[in-house]
Amino acid sequence: MSEAPLIVADELQCLFTVRRGPVEFIRGKASRIHAVDTVSFTLERAEILALVGESGCGKSTVGRMLVKMEEPTAGALTFAGETVNALSGARLKEFRRRAQMIFQNPFEAFDPRLTIGTSLQQAMQIHNIGKDQHDRLQRIVTVMERSGLTPAEDFLSRYPHELSGGQSQRIATVRVMLLSPEFVVADEPVSMLDVSVRADILNQLLDLRDELDMGIVFITHDLAVARYIADRIAVMYLGMFVEVGPAEEILANPRHPYSQALLSNTLPAGDEDRITEPMPIGGEVPTPVDIQPGCRFANRCPFAFDRCFKETPILQAHGGKTEVACHLLG
């Protein structure tokens, strides 16, 4: 019998209720922001899925739902064959050890009142890792030095504000390593770092994947980073997946007009000889409030026709292993 996928997201949806003004409040009318709409995918162990798209498209909300930092409005999430939606108590605590998140801003991931050593030991204590304080400290030193933070003792007594961005992100990754998770959401973990530091952090994540057989959802707006780290790519636009498939397949031959526009405006690493004219994207990003039927990219798509404004396309296979939500391919 084959092993269940590590993550199965089944039509996850996240809506936020808002009232636009005093009249709507008095009348009890509310609008709904469609942060994420009916997103479905699976993730296998040791697989890396990159979520790419413009800021505000819902990538981070998907990531937060996957680790139960945000509750879905609808849909189901399973982790290693177990339904996550209703977890509580000891089972929820165990899930939080097994499913971790690395944030975009590493300085917000640590309590500014605690030293780095205290923060790392605290995470281990919460999850009953290590026999005693001395054992936990030894483990911390070993993992830090493996991550290039040497000598480790020089960092343990520092406070978060005394570290550089690269050092903070390395230590945030160290904290994840100490908990030996099976799944990690990495939310733009290198976007605030210098180019010289990015490769080190990415390689650290790849080593984690190989060492722990860990699945990763990697959130980024940078297609060059996605190409370097991801096995598969999911392109998001306004809360929905518009194209999902193997990274090399999507980067070599994007099928959705939005994916084509993203790629034409980015030069992925290794494609220096394939320079094309950027594909312009006209119009404004539609509001995510009370979205109407139709393709969400239609008002900006140079190829849109009548059906695009009336009927929402669904993800379908159109040759190869890539699924695309586009009426042009129907």
Give 83's strand partners: 78
In the CATH scheme, what is the code of domain 7-112+159-329? 3.40.50.300
Residue 96: strand, helix, or coil: helix
Residue 177: strand, helix, or coil: helix
Q: What is the DSSP string of 34-67?
A: EEEEEEEEEE-TT-EEEEE-STTSSHHHHHHHHT
pTM confidence score: 0.90
Q: Which residue has the tokens 């100490």?
A: 178
Give the whole-angstrom CA distance, residue 151 versus residue 174. 14
Q: Which residue has the tokens 């089944």?
A: 10
Q: In the structure, how many helices (H) and strands (E) does the chain have? A: 11, 12
Per-position pLDDT tens, the chain of length 330: 458 899 999 999 999 887 666 655 566 667 888 899 999 999 999 999 999 998 889 999 999 999 999 999 999 999 999 999 989 999 999 999 999 999 988 888 899 999 999 999 999 999 999 999 999 999 999 999 988 898 999 999 999 999 988 899 899 999 999 999 999 999 999 887 788 788 888 998 999 899 889 999 999 988 889 999 999 999 999 999 999 999 999 999 999 999 999 888 775 545 555 545 677 777 777 788 878 899 999 999 989 999 999 999 999 998 789 999 999 987
- Hey, where are the domains in the chain? 7-112+159-329
The model's pLDDT over 66-90, given as tens digits with 9 standing for 90+, comes to 999 999 999 999 999 999 998 999 9
Residue partners of 327: CB distance under 8 A and separation at least 6:
295, 305, 307, 308, 311, 313
Give the whole-angstrom CA distance, residue 42 versus residue 51. 13
